[in-house]
Amino acid sequence: MNFIRSVGSCCTPACDTTSVINTPGPQGPAGADGTNGVNGYSAYTSITADGPVQPAVLSTVTLDVGNNQWMVASPSSPQGMRICIGDPLATYMGYYRVVSLSGTTQATLENLGYDGNAAPGTPFAIGMTVSPAGIKGLDSSGSGVYDTVALTSGVSTQLISAPSANFGFVPSAVIATILKPTGGITFSVNVHSLAITGFTADFTAIVPASGYSIQYIAYP
């Protein structure tokens, strides 16, 4: 004789917990787009009021500007953000350190006295640009030497002698350009073997022809 167990007798002893199995349903619709973020600030501005003048070197001046919220102030020199006011190729006031900020439209700046900065007493003017700037690099040990020398036709590697066979220094770098008689210019001449007496120039890509010359500046 066969016996069929009842459902309640499957667990011996009887189960005291219930297993729950979650079966995921279909994915719901996408949610609404989030709110747009706040616009950032342009990393430049301009002077908005006449009146202040260039201070003495390492002295400060307070300027009214369109927006100072991109600037970072530091009360301790020489730390702090550097900025440039004006265009070095046009109306130019110079380089400054941001000392402090007031509200969103004033900045107190220290005149760093870099070469080329406007003389103390020179007035700032409405509309002059104010933009971030890097820290000044090291001064060179002297002025560069500029010269143009005729090249020998058909020779791919040539020695370029210093004027009077002496630069007065061993160049740290030489920037050179080939000049063609047709007026075309080829850049990026490879130079090496820098010495007080001259340097070597390679013309691998373009072997000089009649009338070619090399124009260069040698830096201390």
Per residue in 164-219, pLDDT (tens digit) is 899 988 998 898 888 888 766 666 688 999 999 999 999 887 888 899 999 999 98
Residue 14 lies in a domain: no
* Separation between Cα atoms, residue 162 and residue 171, nearest integer Å: 10
Last residue of a domain, one of 74, 102, 133: 133
Looking up residue 62, the CATH number of its domain turns out to be 2.40.30
The two tokens of residue 178 are 């080939």
The two tokens of residue 118 are 């406007």
Residue 12 lies in a domain: no
Query: For residue 55, is pLDDT > 90?
Result: yes
Structural domains of the chain, count: 2
Query: For residue 76, is pLDDT > 80?
Result: no
* Separation between Cα atoms, residue 214 and residue 32, nearest integer Å: 65
Looking up residue 203, the CATH number of its domain turns out to be 2.60.40
Last residue of a domain, one of 107, 133, 159: 133
Asked whether residue 79 falls in the same domain as residue 154, the answer is no
Peptide bond into 163 cis (omega under 30): no
Nearby residues of 58 by Cβ (< 8 Å), 6 or more positions away: 77, 110, 111, 112, 113
Asked whether residue 150 falls in the same domain as residue 172, the answer is yes
Asked whether residue 49 falls in the same domain as residue 125, the answer is yes
In which order are the strands placed within the sheet that holds 213-219? 145-150, 213-219, 173-179, 185-186
pLDDT at 8: 52
Asked whether residue 92 falls in the same domain as residue 118, the answer is yes
pLDDT at 134: 79
Nearby residues of 41 by Cβ (< 8 Å), 6 or more positions away: 67, 69, 70
Expressed as residue numbers, the domain containing 84 is 45-133
pLDDT at 91: 77
Could you say which DSSP state residue 8 is in? G
